[in-house]
Amino acid sequence: MSFIITEINDQIAWVTINRPEALNAMNPIVISELQDAIENCINDSSVGVIILTGSGEKSFIAGADIKTMQSMGPDEALSFGKVGQQLTVTIENSPKPIIAAVNGFALGGGCEISLACHIRVASETAKFGQPEVLLGILPGWGGTQRLPRLVGTGIANEIITTGRMIDAQEAKEIGLANHVVPLEDLKQKCEEVANQILKNGPNAIAKSLECIREGVGLTTKDGLDLEVKNFSSLFNSDETKEGLSAFVEKRVPNFRK
């Protein structure tokens, strides 16, 4: 039995973690299957946007599987942390936008997976948090690195050191969630955002995501150098020629033939 369901329609891939009895908690098998599913969607030319969610109405991903971690020593924890980090890096580095459809609990590793996504759309019932310190551990899949960059160091310090849960509205206020909608509207809102993205040039999107991602660790000067390099490189592409011609000719560009 697979724990991951992938459905592709009209260039949108829905990737669903299907372990509702465990609130979609992540163990090594689920991590491996999700890694494969994300990579397959990235490499699938029929996919333009990926939407990641959890099955059921209670949980996006409740976190890493606590029972799995309970028996770990330092060596096993190092390996588990590394495979979780590799998954989040794959998501973050995707040239195709990945939207997190957060339909419930996004805690611990689940929050970290949502942080790696490019956009987060939350239901009104969503709850975010990094409760690892309550268990005597710390976020190990990128929470200490991505959360401060997204919401600022002071807020990240509080979220991580208190371990408290944040509701959807607070998540939106601090910049953790892009949109908050009723649960019954979550699918529609995610696909609305995805379809806005699909109107645009895929190479331009991929290069934009690269500039945003890589620019975080660069000086402004080096970031600008990266930006202008990627900007100019697109002018060799049919995509850019099509976009500019369509604008001049007052028609809709056809980027995804």
Catalytic, 132? Answer: yes
Amino acid type, 39: E
Q: What is the pLDDT of residue 16?
A: 98
The pLDDT of 7-29, averaged and rounded, is 96
pLDDT at 23: 95
Q: Tokens 């369901």 identify what position?
A: 5
Q: Given the residues 39, 132, 184, 192, select the one marked as catalytic.
A: 132
User: Could you tell me if residue 142 is left (phi over 0), alpha (psi between -120 and 50 degrees) or otherwise beta?
Assistant: left
**129 has pLDDT over 90:** yes
Radius of gyration of the CA atoms of the chain, in A: 19
**What mean pLDDT do residues 128-156 have?**
97
pLDDT at position 106: 98
Tokens representing 105 are 């609990």
Mean pLDDT of 134-140: 97
Summarize the confidence of residues 123-139 as an average pLDDT.
Answer: 97
- pLDDT range class, residue 161, cuts 50, 70, 90: very high
Contacts of 223 (CB under 8 A, 6+ apart): 211, 214, 215
pLDDT category, 142, cuts 50, 70, 90? Answer: very high
Average pLDDT for residues 110-137, to the nearest whole number? 98
- Quote the tokens at residue 99: 């939207």
Residue of 39, 76, 112, 192 marked active site: 112
pLDDT of 256 higher than 90: no
112 is catalytic: yes
Give the pLDDT of residue 217. Answer: 87
> 16 — phi, psi (to 5°)?
-115, 130
pLDDT at res. 21: 93
Report the chain's mean pLDDT, rounded to a whole number: 97
pLDDT of residue 17 exceeding 80: yes
How far separated are the first and last CA of the chain, in Å rounded? Answer: 36
User: CATH for 4-198, among 3.40.640.10, 3.40.50.620, 3.30.499.10, 3.90.226.10?
Assistant: 3.90.226.10
pLDDT in tens, 205-247: 999 999 999 999 899 999 999 999 999 999 999 999 999 999 9
Average pLDDT over residues 118-129: 98
Instruction: Report the SS3 class of residue 59.
Output: strand
**Domain 202-248 belongs to what topology?**
Lyase 2-enoyl-coa Hydratase; Chain  A, domain 2 (1.10.12)
Structural domain spans, the chain: 4-198, 202-248
